[in-house]
């Protein structure tokens, strides 16, 4: 039976392939959404000016572009929220130096690094889910119930992709003496 460190090592080794799969799936979702946006625009144009607005085709077109440029979107949102690009998993020892950085031993540090990388990957998936929910909200299929969760997924995903910096911020909030 494999121990926890070996399981994390195996997952980290496959993380490159997982990221590639997510990128390809997001690109394909972007293509499908682009085609859908063009079909919606064509349908809207054929029906005439009194048959609804352009909100749905334009929103679908914009979100398709966001799916196409997902890595750039994540970097831009990280710079917007934190002022820096997303940090590597190893930088958690720099940002959270008195708590996580105090861990001694190569095995403990490797386990923490692997867990941070997994959290960052789930953050990327959360951004994708948030974009999908925002598109559903723009379509009007399920009403306004999907806008709030969509925006929450995007923001939480960005926080997760920059987890080392967030851990450092939390450490400074909790451990700083007044």
Summarize pLDDT for 27-49 with one digit per residue, the tens.
999 999 999 888 888 887 777 76
Pairwise CA distance, residues 164 & 16, whole Å: 19
Query: In which band, very low, low, confident or very high, does the pLDDT at 106 lie, cut at 50, 70 and 90?
Result: confident
Q: What is the pTM of this model?
A: 0.84
Chain centroid offset of residue 16 CA = 16
| Domain coverage including residue 105 | 4-175
Instruction: Say how many C-beta atoms besides its own lie within 10 A of residue 123's C-beta.
Output: 22
Instruction: Report helix angle 55-68 to 4-47, nearest 10.
Output: 150
Dihedral (CA of 12, 18, 20, 22) sign = negative
pLDDT in tens, 111-132: 888 888 999 999 999 999 999 9
Instruction: Say how many C-beta atoms besides its own lie within 10 A of residue 157's C-beta.
Output: 23
Per DSSP, the three-state class of 26 is helix
The number of domains in the chain is 1
């Amino acid at each position: 039976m494999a121990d926890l460190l070996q399981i994390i090592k195996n997952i980290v080794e496959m993380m490159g392939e997982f990221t590639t799969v997510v990128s390809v799936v997001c690109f394909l979702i972007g293509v499908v959404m682009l085609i859908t946006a063009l079909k919606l625009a064509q349908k809207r144009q054929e029906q005439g000016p009194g048959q609804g607005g352009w909100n749905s085709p334009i929103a679908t077109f914009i979100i398709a572009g966001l799916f196409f440029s997902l890595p750039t979107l994540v970097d831009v949102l990280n710079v917007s929220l934190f002022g820096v690009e997303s940090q590597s998993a190893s930088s958690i020892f720099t940002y959270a130096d008195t708590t996580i950085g105090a861990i001694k031993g190569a095995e403990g540090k490797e386990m923490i690094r692997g867990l941070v990388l997994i959290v960052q990957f789930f953050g990327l998936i959360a951004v994708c889910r948030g974009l999908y929910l925002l598109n559903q909200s723009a379509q009007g299929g399920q009403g306004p119930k999907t806008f709030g969760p969509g925006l929450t997924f995007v923001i939480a995903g960005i926080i997760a992709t920059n987890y080392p910096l967030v851990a450092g911020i939390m450490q400074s909030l909790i451990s700083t003496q007044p």
